Amino acid sequence: MAPLDLLIPSLLLAFSLLISVPPCAFANNSKLFREYIGAGSNRVDFSDVPVNPDVEFHFILAFAIDYTVTDASPPAPADGVFTAFWDTDTLTPYKITSLKRSHPNVKLALSLGGDSFGDNRLVYFKPSSVNSWVANAVSSLTRIIKLYDLDGIDIDYEHFLAGPDTFAECIGRLVTTLKMNKVISFASIAPFEDREVKIHYRALWKKYGNAIDYVNFQFYAYDSTTNVTQFAGYFEEQSMNYYGGNVLVALSTDKSSSGGLLPENGFFDACNELKMQNKLHGIFIWAADYSISNGFSYEIMAQKLLASA
């Protein structure tokens, strides 16, 4: 046995190395399933979606957008003053209360931004300043989150009229403030393989990655000819880009964006392989609004896979 005076420094060094590793770096398999809902116009309700009681299920409302909404003028960036743009007639606070009562394993989040709205009008991240955007966002989102009894937020800005440092500071301060105020208990980001998107989200991850609980990486943005081997490479690449994070795998049922590794090309085989490697941190699907046409078959399969031992 080594002398005590030699052993103690070694133990201190080992401990310092351990605590320097991001908290999620040792994460194993998860039973987390996430589903975006509310972006379509076909009145899909929470009760339409099958919920397996043996998974942790997150509904993500798509979207809350900081744009003006008036009849007098065209929509314009609103500097962090968010409005609910999802199907608020169907997905109401009352429905959420009922959902949570019926399914204790369900939590809800809202997603910020998205690609476009209305007549394909792009959603831009455009703060007038960091301080004003954060103040407005904290205030407006706190009101919405409390009204709808939500548990978290998801960041899905895809177009930018501000630099990566500004994006990182705005989003990072928003997430940390909402968590500190106990308004939310979790936060996620939803990047995809695109130069501008990568630059902005990597800047956010570098500075505030410890505040982000999940990475909803949009693997369906890759080409639809993706095979299992290519997908495995993409997963490893993004796991390194967001090192220490819980990178979820993804599937789209929206025919306009259903690329990546498709179910018929081995998506669930790849999920099983990740599970065998203790790397399956969860699955998310875009989106319930489109899945209803096939009876939510992929949602059922994904949850069954996650729930199995």
DSSP state of 30: -
What's the angle, vertex CA 280, arms to CA 279 and CA 283, rounded to 5? 155
The vertex-159 CA angle with 77 and 288, nearest 5°, equals: 95
Contact assessment for residue 77 and residue 66, using Cβ atoms and an 8 Å cutoff? yes
56 is catalytic: no
- How many angstroms from the chain centroid is the CA of residue 278? 20
Whether the bond into 63 is cis, omega within 30 of 0? yes
CB within 8 Å of 82: residues ≥ 6 apart: 64, 65, 66, 112, 137, 140, 141, 144
For 87, residues 6+ apart whose C-beta sits below 8 A from its C-beta are 38, 40, 41, 43, 44
Identify the active-site residue in 158, 169, 237, 273.
158
Enzyme catalytic residues: 158
